[in-house]
Copies of this chain bind each other. A is one copy, B any other.
Amino acid sequence: MTTSQTSVSHPAEYTELLGRLATVHDLHAASAVLGWDQMTYLPAGAGGPRGRHLATLTRLAHEHFTDDRIGVLLDSLGPFESSLPSDSDEASLLRIARQDYRRAVRVPGSFMATFAEHQSASYQAWAVARPANDWEAVTPILERTVDLSREYAGFFPRTAHLADVFVDEAEPGLDVASVRELFSSLRARLVPMVRQIIAQPRPDDTFLTRAYPVDTQWQFGEMVARKLGYDFERGRQDRAPHPFTTSFSRNDVRITTRLSETDLRFGLFATMHEAGHGMYEQGVAPGLDGTLLGSGASSGVHESQSRLWENVVGRSRGFWKWGYSRLQSTFPGQLGDVTADQFYRAINRVEPSLIRVEADEMTYNLHIMMRFDFELALLDGSLRVTDLPEAWNARFKDDLGITPPSNQDGCMQDVHWFASPIAGQFQGYTIGNVLSAQCFDRACEVHPSIPTEIESGEFGTLLSWLQTNLHALGRKYDVNDTIVRATGRALTIEPYLDYLRDKFGDLYDLS
């Protein structure tokens, strides 16, 4: 499904455009390095200047990208683009460049710099305030984020919903209405299953919270990530308070994790999750590296890869048929008395919980849907920042039957609103869940040996299928087109619902 590089000769304007876009790309890559550093190793007292450095890089990238000359080049390259196959790298690059350019020229560089500096300060304030459960400290910051997000939306022509521009940036081709439709059909099928399951007795999982030395967890996690196919020669893992993946090129894709001495799940599944993101970026076609097309297609498509490895593979019976004896011998004192079946049931225990990143597969999407709704409400003004904690807790009670005891574990738990605009941040997680099953389903259709291979710790066929059919495409196509090219059909919730029913029907009574 990947297309070969066309061997046409390039007009001088195309070469010039590539050079100019490379400068923009390098500035973004440098920003990403500074961002990675901020999340991993930045000294406590160093925040202020770092914000200014990031603001400058963002402003310069924006200035270089919105240079009139880029518009002139794009216009003059129209005939060249028409002469190319539409799925060639060159045509895709010109299409995406034009789309990004048209968006970027609407936003003043000074605004981009202000927003970048605000984001950096905002992240730092959150990193201090969250452990202290200090909601008051971040209220004015979040209010400013909402204001800046609204100002940003205002640069664009009026759309059906103010948040459309944010959804489209995260998921090119989708909008608030299409996400709402997806979420409501999924919710209608999911809520009854969740209600059924949580009325049943939970399996024991207390052995997952015994004392697990973090260094040993770290080594086991790296072994697993390597085994799945994450390439440590072209990446590395570090610790961060909120795990993330970042890419400076396909040869430098870094993952992070966090480890808990008293919960084996955090580090283990965070590592598989981030390795999934990492393998996607490492698998982008070499010819796209360093260009506008050299990254994943969207947040949701990205999330499909992290969730596929974390959940569809990493929380499967087959995976632990291979992995459990290894894990057990790594932690004999902690897991010596636990069978593989007990372990499998424990890591798939469904239980309404406070923290999104610790939620099970069944309830996870309910966390996402409420955040999506809050984003829209904050942005359109129907919910004020000061009223967020109350609204959050009420919705939590409704959807999951529990109430967060503090904002720290409630509306302050996620980094997103403190490091990004207020909207478009969360829908990708559920789109990713849905798509993860669709991808795996299709891969197994083509290679029926995959489930058996996973049972023997072989992941090469699966990874290779994903690389060829999805990763290599990079950002050449919009979300819908990418999904069709990779899986042969449009995004659909059926494989995901089948997956959930099969898996959890085996663990709980879902009759």
Contacts and interface: CB of A to CB of B under 8 A. Distances in A.
A232 B43 contact: yes
B42 A252 contact: yes
A249 interface: yes
B56 A27 contact: yes
B290 A50 contact: no
Contact of A57 (B22, B26, B248): B26
Interface in A32-53: 33-34, 37, 41-50, 52-53
A5 to B, nearest CB: 18
Interface in A415-444: none
Contact of A43 (B50, B60, B235): B235
A290 B49 CA distance: 8
A236 interface: yes
Contacts of A22: 52, 56
A111 B37 CA distance: 29
A23 interface: yes
A26 B52 contact: yes
Nearest to A29: B53
A360 interface: no
Contacts of A231: 45
Contacts of A27: 56-57, 60
Contacts of A393: none
Interface residues of A, number: 39
Nearest to A49: B249
A331 B45 CA distance: 33
Contacts of A49: 29, 248-249, 251-252, 289-290
Contacts of A507: none
A248 B37 CA distance: 12
A42 B249 CA distance: 12
B43 A252 contact: yes
A37 B43 contact: no
Interface string A356-400: 000000000000000000000000000000000000000000000
A129 interface: no
A231 B33 CA distance: 24
A182 interface: no
Nearest to A24: B56
Nearest to A38: B33
Given A53-B30, A57-B30, A233-B43, A48 B251 contact: yes
Q: Nearest 8 A-B pairs (CB), nearest first?
A: A46-B252, A49-B249, A26-B56, A45-B233, A45-B234, A46-B251, A26-B53, A30-B30
Given A22-B56, A26-B57, A33-B34, 10 more contacts: A23-B56, A23-B60, A33-B33, A42-B252, A45-B251, A46-B249, A50-B248, A50-B252, A53-B248, A60-B60
26 contacts: A22-B52, A23-B56, A26-B53, A27-B56, A29-B49, A30-B34, A30-B57, A33-B53, A37-B37, A41-B238, A42-B252, A43-B234, A43-B235, A43-B251, A43-B252, A45-B231, A45-B233, A46-B248, A46-B249, A46-B251, A46-B252, A48-B249, A48-B251, A49-B248, A49-B251, A49-B290
